[in-house]
Amino acid sequence: MDADQVWGRIINHAGEVARLKGGREFTYDARGRTIHLHSVNQMISRAMISRAAIEKALHRVSLRNTSVVQDLPAPSYVYAILMDPRIRAGDW
């Protein structure tokens, strides 16, 4: 798994609507080595995911559920981003 390719996909899809496992929508900005999370209606208070956290989660794909990444910041969002078909691109 190439972390640079996956990070590139995350950057390319920043600003697009993504969905949590339960269906709630959110968006994110990818700036530098950080993902800043937003709900569709308001900013999620200081919620960020580092590229390092994404790289740790990549070693665990395909993710069965959010409990696999529970030790990482914003695990529901890490799961949602990495399991999004646009990010997976058929790689896992």
Distances (CA, A) of 38 to 6, 22, 45, 55, 75: 20, 16, 8, 21, 15
What's this model's pTM, rounded to 2 decimal places?
0.91
Query: What is the structure's pLDDT at 42?
Result: 56
The predicted-structure confidence for 30-41, as pLDDT tens digits, reads as follows 989 999 998 766
HSE-up (13 A, CA, CB side) for residue 17: 6
Q: What is residue 54's DSSP assignment?
A: H
The predicted-structure confidence for 48-57, as pLDDT tens digits, reads as follows 899 999 999 9
Domain assignment present for residue 75? The answer is yes
Containing structural domain, residue 26:
3-87
Q: How many domains does the chain have?
A: 1
The predicted-structure confidence for 7-20, as pLDDT tens digits, reads as follows 999 999 999 999 99
Domain assignment present for residue 92? The answer is no
